[in-house]
Structure 1
């Protein structure tokens, strides 16, 4: 499973809940390979052709944070900006304004529910990957400026 590149229509399909079966571990394996090979910070399953609600982030100590069937419950009205790139859009960066603080509801690999308060850069990364789960790319963001 390789990363899909814009304008691939699969990137814009409606995504479904993850089922807890062997396919979950298959998906995680390919997400981990792709994030390492492509030197990414995060990757969502729709970026490799799976239309399910799953993304991973690589943290500061090279461990994976796994987010299954996630949903942002709350976003602050305080914003921060960051030049974002995307593994599905080659050589394209865009200044995006995102909420500085969010609350994320998600499940782990053991199907345990979590509610997490996330701030600063990690908030940006989570919102970016959550956009993929909702079939949006940074090209769709209007509150921004473009650098190519």
Structure 2
């Protein structure tokens, strides 16, 4: 189960890919409060499809069928998505999953800080690296640069 994008032009729901916004945000904002079967399904889908070695990826691989690597696409992971995912999981009592995902992200940030002396805006959470080649580059990926939301995470 997930929440999906809705195309207002053609009136269709796009179920061709899963995203952190369709899975974690409903947990975080209380959209599934009181519906344990639905929240269990969403958490299982999130952990099965988006949880990677370095944290939560923005969307699943199916979104990258044309070979285009947009900055929000697989394999990118962003600090705001990580924090919203952890808070949503904790809010509904999924503490084990929240701790596991937070640990993965923090390990990736720490490794990047130790090796490159930077904390960039996004990471390749699949391959656990800050060296990610996407549109618009990767802000604060040079030595001595630190991106605010990554530092906050």
* TM-score for both structures, normalised by structure 1: 0.29
* TM-score for both structures, normalised by structure 2: 0.29
Q: Higher strand proportion, which one?
A: 1
Q: Higher helix proportion, which one?
A: 2
Q: Highest CA radius of gyration, 1 or 2?
A: 2
